[in-house]
Amino acid sequence: MKKAWKFLSSMRFAIILLVILAVVCSLGSFITQGQTYAWYASRYSERTAALIIALHLDDAFHSWWFILISSFLCINLIACNVVRVPGLIKRTKSKEEVQPSVRAEGVKDVQAFFTAMGMKKPSETTRNGHKALYSSKNTIGIWGAWICHVGVLLLILGYGLGQMTYKEYTVYGVPGTTMVAGDTNLAVTIDDFHIDYREDGSVEQYTSDLTVRDLTGNRETRSASVSVNNPADIYGLRFYQNSTGWAARVKIQKDGEDLQESVVCAGDILPVSDKPELVILFNSFYPDVTGYLYSVYFQGRILGMNILLPEDVLTIDEYTVTFSEPQTYTLIQIKRDSFTFLAFIGGIVIMAGLFLAFYIQPRKIWAEQQEDGSWTVYGHSPKGGLMFKEQFENASG
């Protein structure tokens, strides 16, 4: 049991885990996440696709092995910190002398020396049968690395728990569109969408005005504006302005009579109402030529693909299809991550630990009175040795 605990709390185990995490994170970055077996097979091969699915590399950061590795890393950090606490407490409270790094002899005004070094009032003790003085300062600095480890632990926990409970939804459409965001029972209405341009014609900002209504009636309706880098928080969810694209009004007639008409966003399909196996796919819009790229499918098989100009009409048996009114739509990304605050706290703790580790200089100074009344002063600082030595020499005159 002791050997297992020693290994779990060792630096060697931490390095092994970090190397493994670096490898799997690289794989997760190179392999497109969240796709189907067919998608991977078309990009790589059937054998590679099967391997990706079997090893959960299609969702690496939510896989059981990624969670297991992260859990072991948390255990390692906890064990490291637990093991080090008694020693750090002892070092913080200890008034024992250590091997000095600097020394000065023949100091006459020892109190002035302690003051020049910025030390607090020394306490009296004895050393080698002689009167001695002792003072320490900034002992909290020795906790810097330990606090950094705590911050890293909080960061990992915040990210890990956040990924396990993470929810993401999207709604999109032109102004006037209402969509329900996944399983949230929230109906999101896009009231307006506008694009701000700079004087040179480049895009400055995308902004969507939203109204969010709780379908259960338990919460009051909320309104908000979201733009790039300016999300809105509603009902514990964060709404982001994610992207935009083209939409068009698609009109279908049958034997010259109006059958259906709706606004379709690029990438969406429109089944013919009285013949749902016949589907119109609006692929894209090309503003330079005012052309609408479409595809037609029947029972899952493609019948044709082409660009339709405004004056053109697509004829499919007794049906005619026209595209008009090109307009931009907005896509809103909705996220829920209940543990973002934990990762944020972890980041602050890490910064505090780094500050203590690099900017707070622990130091100990002790002095022993000699037979002639002068003092021999010793000092030690585990960090900032050159600066401490220079200050020590200046104080000793």
pLDDT > 70: percent of the chain: 99
Instruction: Return the CATH fold of 246-329.
Output: Tumour Suppressor Smad4 (2.60.200)
**Mean pLDDT in residue range 363-384:** 89
Whether residue 1 has pLDDT greater than 80: no
Q: What is the pLDDT of residue 337?
A: 81
Query: What is the tens place of the pLDDT at every residue in 250-263?
Result: 999 999 899 999 99
* CATH code 3.30.160 region(s) in the chain: 94-138+361-396
DSSP 230: B
CA angle 311, 317, 320 (to 5 degrees): 30
* CATH code 2.60.200 region(s) in the chain: 246-329
How far is it, in rounded angstroms, from Cα 62 to Cα 382?
Answer: 42
The CATH code of the domain at 94-138+361-396 is 3.30.160
How far is it, in rounded angstroms, from Cα 335 to Cα 239?
Answer: 7
Q: What phi and psi values does residue 133 have, to the nearest 5 degrees?
A: -125, 150
Q: What is the pLDDT of residue 29?
A: 74
- Strand partners for 137: 363
Q: What is the pTM of this model?
A: 0.63
Q: What is the three-class DSSP state of 200?
A: coil
Q: What is the pLDDT of residue 97?
A: 67
H or E, element range at 280: strand 275-286
How far is it, in rounded angstroms, from Cα 88 to Cα 184?
Answer: 48
User: Any residues with CB less than 8 A from the CB of 310 and at least 6 apart, and which?
Assistant: 290, 323, 324
Q: What is the pLDDT of residue 310?
A: 86
Whether residue 298 has pLDDT greater than 90: yes
Whether residue 265 has pLDDT greater than 90: yes
Query: What is the tens place of the pLDDT at every residue in 61-107?
Result: 778 888 888 888 888 888 888 888 888 888 888 777 678 889 999 88
Is residue 49 within 8 A of residue 57, CB to CB? The reply is no
Q: What is the pLDDT of residue 173?
A: 94
Whether residue 297 has pLDDT greater than 70: yes
**Mean pLDDT in residue range 159-170:** 81
Q: What is the pLDDT of residue 79?
A: 84
Measured on CA atoms in the order 112, 116, 119, 120, is the torsion positive or negative? positive
Q: What phi and psi values does residue 9 have, to the nearest 5 degrees?
A: -95, 10
Whether residue 344 has pLDDT greater than 80: yes
- The residue behind tokens 């999109």 is 172
pLDDT confidence of 166, banded at 50, 70, 90? Answer: confident
Whether residue 202 has pLDDT greater than 80: yes
Least confident of 64-73, 132-141, 227-236: 64-73
Per-chain mean pLDDT for the chain: 88
Whether residue 315 has pLDDT greater than 90: yes
Query: What is the tens place of the pLDDT at every residue in 28-53?
Result: 777 877 777 777 887 788 888 888 88
